[in-house]
Amino acid sequence: MAKKISKRVEKKGPVTKIQSSKNAASIVWAASLAMGFLPGLVIYFFRENDRYVESQVKETLNWNITFFFGLFVGTITSIFMVGIVLIFFIVFAHLIFCLMGAISTSKGKDFRTPFAFRLLK
């Protein structure tokens, strides 16, 4: 029985750098739902030499900047009732884009939000 278990482990093999990159990028997108741009900043400053994760972290940070700017504008314009619709739209878009980003990066694909301020390049 022990031989069967060891054969299963040998087939899977160790977690490769590619898999760890996909996991890190997925975590950044999923965590940005609850914590905003904080997970992106942490990964951006502490993870080195990984282009895939770096590109996804930059995309996450760009989207979060756009999200918070949209919330700010929505709050200011809520006096005119336009802001309430804007806040609803931007929160819904944040939910959808973060989930799409987490799913896409877990498969190893690059994800770019359809609209965001591209401040980090």
What is the full DSSP assignment across 78-117?
GGGTHHHHHHHHHHHHHHHHHHHHHHHHHTT-----SS--
Residue 91 lies in a domain: yes
Q: What is the mean pLDDT of residues 42-69?
A: 87
Residue 30 lies in a domain: yes
pLDDT of residue 118: 82
Identify the band that residue 87 occupies on the pLDDT scale cut at 50, 70 and 90: very high
Q: What is the mean pLDDT of residues 96-100?
A: 93
CA–CA gap between residue 60 and residue 119 (Å, rounded): 11
* pTM, to two decimals: 0.78
Residue 114 lies in a domain: no
Indicate whether 8 pLDDT > 60.
Answer: no
Residue 80 lies in a domain: yes
Token pair for 68: 């918070």
Tens digit of each residue's pLDDT (9 = 90 or more) over 65-76: 999 999 999 999
pLDDT of residue 22: 86
Q: Please, what sign has the CA dihedral across residues 83, 86, 92, 98?
A: negative
| 3-class secondary-structure state, position 54 | helix
Which letter does DSSP use for residue 80 in this model?
Answer: G
Residue 4 lies in a domain: no
Number of domains in the chain: 1
Q: Which domain holds residue 34?
A: 17-106
Q: Please, what sign has the CA dihedral across residues 40, 41, 43, 48?
A: positive
Residue 70 lies in a domain: yes
- Amino acid 71 reads L
Q: What is the mean pLDDT of residues 57-65?
A: 92
